[in-house]
Amino acid sequence: MMISLRGAVLALWTGALMAAAPIPAFTAEGKSLDTMNQLTFTRPAEKGSVELVEGKSGKAIRFVFEEDCRGVFSAGPSLANADWDRAAGISFWVKGDGSSHLGGLEFVWNEDYGVRYACAFPINGKEWRKVVVPWRDLLPELSKSYKPLDPARGNAPSRLGRISFGKWWYWKDYAAHSYAIDDIRLEPVIERDARSYRPAGDPLARVRRNLRARQPVTIVTMGDSLTDTAHWTNRETDWPERLRKKLQDKYGSAVRIVNPAMGGTELTQNLILMPRWLQECPDPDLVTVFFGGNDWASGMRGEGFLAVQQEAVIRIRRATKGRADVLLMATCPSLDNLDPIGELAEACRQAARSQKAGLADIYKLFRAALDSDRERLFAWDRVHLSPAGQEAVADAALKVIGGE
C-alpha cells in the first residue's frame, strides 16, 4: 500500500519542478539513498533510541521516542547532492505502531538552523506502507524563512542537510511512539493532483447549503492561541464554541467543532501538522484559518503572508478533494500593534480574493471599534481575546457563514 503526502496535504507550487534540468537515469524505483540495513542514524541524547529490525527488504531502523519527546531527533547522514535538484522528492517505507500519533521528517537547509523543512506522516498502520514526499510538501517550519523547496524558484533541495526523524517544539503531541523506516530513495517523478478545486461560485456554498437544510456540519478551526482551548483565556469560553452554539441556534443543525489550534505557533507549522486533524476529520464542511500574531513576531510580513495564506487555501482544498469550504479570518491586531500588523490582514484579504475563499475581516472589525470598546475586546495582556472579543469573533464568522 502506498501513502503519498499529497493525499493529506498538497502544496501551492504548481510549476514543473523538473523544468530546471533533465531527469537523471534512475531505476524505476528511484535512486537508493539509504537501505537502512545498518544503523546510519544516531541515537538521541535522551528520550529515544534506534535499533535494527526486520525490514520490508533486509533490515530497517526502528525509531523509538519516549514520553515527552519534545525536540528529540535521530539524525542520519547528509546525502543531498546535485541529483536532488533533478528529482521530484523522496520516498521511504514506514511501519508504524498503530497509534494516531504522527512521525516527523526534518531537514536543516544550507546548515542554517533558522531554515528548517519538515513534514508529518501517519504511523497508524502496522504493515509496511510507502510514503512519497514531493519537495513541495516539505514546508518551512518558521514563517520568516518561508520559501519553497524548488531548484528553479526557491531553495535548492541539493543544499538540504542531514535527514532527521523527530519532532520540534511546536508539535505539542509528545506521547511515546515508534515506527520503523526502510529504503529511503529519491523519486524522479511524482504524480500530483493538478486540480485546483477553486469554486466557480459561492466559496462557502457547501456549509451554507447544509446549514439551511439542517444537515450536520463539521468545522475545523485552525489557529494559534486566540483559538486554542488550552490557552488560559480560552479555558472557560472560546470563540469556536460560541460559533457552534450560534449556528445551532440559528439553523437547527448539529454542528461539530474539530479544534486543532496550537498556541504559540505560526501558520506554516499548522500546515505541516494538517495530517493530524485529517486523520480524525478527512472531509469537513468548513475549515477556518486564523493566524498572524506569532507570524508577525517571527518576522513574517505582508508579501510572504500572502503566499502562505494562498498555500493554506489550496492545501486544504486538495487535502479534502474540494469537499471543504475555506474561511480566512483576517489577522486580529493587539492593542499595541493596531496599524503595523494590518499588512498581514491585507494579505488575508488578497488571498481570499485570489483563491476565492470566504473572508471574515476580524482586523477591520477590531480596528474600527472605538478606543473604549476596543479595550473591552481584549484580556488584561492586551493581546488575547476577552469573552467580549470571543463573542465579536464568533459573531463575525456567523455573519460571513450565513451570507449576511
179 and 283 share a domain?
no
CB 106 within 8 A of CB 118: yes
Q: Using a pLDDT cut of 70, give the percent of the chain over it.
A: 93
Q: Is the pLDDT confidence value at 15 over 50?
A: no
Listed residues 138, 153, 187: the one ending a domain: 187
Domain that holds residue 65: 2-187
- CA distances in angstroms from 317 to 3, 274, 275, 289, 403, listed in the order given: 18, 12, 13, 13, 21
170 and 224 share a domain?
no
Neighbouring residues of 129: CB distance < 8 A, sequence distance ≥ 6: 1, 2, 3, 93, 94, 95
90-108: pLDDT as tens digits: 999 999 999 999 999 999 9
| Domains of the chain: total | 2
- The CATH number that applies at residue 228 is 3.40.50.1110
DSSP state of 270: H
Position 192 in a domain: no
Q: Which residue has the higher pLDDT, 1 or 348?
A: 348
151-183: pLDDT as tens digits: 888 999 999 999 999 999 999 999 999 999 999
Position 62 in a domain: yes
Position 200 in a domain: no
CB 263 within 8 A of CB 229: no
Prediction pTM value:
0.90
Q: Is the pLDDT confidence value at 2 over 50?
A: no
14 and 130 share a domain?
yes
The Cα 299–Cα 366 span in angstroms is 22
pLDDT band at 28 (very low <50, low <70, confident <90, very high): low
pLDDT band at 372 (very low <50, low <70, confident <90, very high): confident
The Cα 36–Cα 83 span in angstroms is 20
